[in-house]
Amino acid sequence: MSGCHQALARLWREYETIVVVTSRPPSLREATLQWFSRWCPGYEHSACIFKDREESVLQTATWKARLVAHFARQHETLLFIDDDERNRNAVAALAADLPNVTISITPGFEECLRDADFS
């Protein structure tokens, strides 16, 4: 997507930890990292969480919501970006039940950073 590199640079400046969560299995780790390296050069070493075999029975939306809830308990600020509305809705539903968590859901990466200056 246009502006992705600049958006990632901005996120790295604003957040101390960035984790890429993908429902791809660990067997696709190398291919995924190669794809990331091609399209987001310089950020391919971001921490990545892959959906392992034991978690494969969980729907992706439920799995991602549980991960976000886990991270929300450890961090004061958390930004979740996902292109799938089902995943965003699952995160919003689970996060709404967490104490001391305020959530804001936006449709996607472009919306999160629409006011960003990519010049």
- Domain residue ranges of the chain, discontinuous segments joined by +: 4-112
Closest CA to 60 of 37, 83, 78: 83
Q: Is the pTM of this model over 0.85?
A: no
- Give the model's pLDDT for residue 119: 43
CB 49 within 8 A of CB 21: yes
Mean pLDDT per 10-residue interval, the chain, length 119 residues: 74 83 90 85 81 82 88 81 85 79 61 51
Q: What does the block give as tokens for 13?
A: 């400046």
